[in-house]
């Protein structure tokens, strides 16, 4: 799961493209979400389920 990913988030304003960097450390997930001109830091998130939709 570690790595950089291009993502698209569906918002009320339409689809927004961004990137996410993920770093899994055991059961914890850290990273940075960059979208809509902002960076959101993710710290100590729990890895519950990861679903990739194509």
Tokens of 22: 């993920």
The whole-number pLDDT of residue 24 equals: 87
Residue 33 falls inside a structural domain: yes
| Proportion of the chain above pLDDT 70, given as a percent | 83
**pLDDT at 19 exceeding the cut of 60:** yes
Residue 54 falls inside a structural domain: no
Domain that holds residue 30: 3-46
Residue 53 falls inside a structural domain: no
The arithmetic mean of pLDDT across residues 24-39, rounded, is 87
List for the chain the helix, strand, coil content (%; round to 5).
0, 70, 30
The pTM (predicted TM-score) of the whole model is: 0.70
The whole-number pLDDT of residue 47 equals: 53
Residue 52 falls inside a structural domain: no
- How many domains is the chain partitioned into structurally? 1
The arithmetic mean of pLDDT across residues 16-36, rounded, is 89
**pLDDT at 43 exceeding the cut of 60:** yes
């Amino acid at each position: 799961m570690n790595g950089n990913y291009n993502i698209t988030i569906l918002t009320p304003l339409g689809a927004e493209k961004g990137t996410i960097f993920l770093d899994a450390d055991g059961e914890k997930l850290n990273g940075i979400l960059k979208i809509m001109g902002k960076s959101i830091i993710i710290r100590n998130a729990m890895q519950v389920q990861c679903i990739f939709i194509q």
